[in-house]
Amino acid sequence: MRTAGFATARRIALLLPLALIGGALAFQFVGNLVPCEMCMWQRWPHYAAIVVAALAFVTPNRVAQVMLVSLACLLIAASGAIGVFHAGVEYHWWNGITPCTAHLAAGSSGLDMIDQIQRGPLVRCDAPQWSLFNISLAGFNAIFSLAGAAAIFVLAARNPRG
């Protein structure tokens, strides 16, 4: 039973980002919520964590497995940190670092701007599209990612080498 903690950490390192990305994609494609720029920033570390954690299942070397799970843990925590920042922008605790608006090429005319607006939605990063108990999707990502990263760390640190 001495390796049960690490085995659980490895499973969480794979399943948590899979579940969070699955939820984000469901909100996008089933719920018709268009992700803003910062929403997309939160997804990239989870995509990377999925790949890294999956490698930990196929790598026979135990030290490499520990390193991969640790890296996945850091990636999940990075997504959670971005989620904290994004939620803070949504709650107007601080300003965002991006305008989260459409970008026009230099020399674009007013008609180009109108055409771009008509082609796609403009999504603001400082206005949550969905919330539950006054917690936005960015807030939930922060909560689940940081709690999951803490759980992975604690479980893997119990006995990472068996």
Q: Which whole-number Å values give the CA distances from 150 to 9, 75, 104, 145, in the listed order?
A: 10, 12, 41, 9
Domain limits, the chain? 4-158
> Are 151 and 62 spatial neighbours (Cβ–Cβ below 8 Å)?
no
- In CATH, what number does 4-158 get? 1.20.1550
Residuewise pLDDT in 10s, the chain (162 residues) = 356 788 889 999 999 999 999 999 888 889 888 888 888 889 999 999 999 999 999 999 888 998 999 999 999 999 999 999 988 888 888 877 766 644 555 666 777 667 766 665 567 677 778 777 977 888 899 999 999 999 999 988 875 444
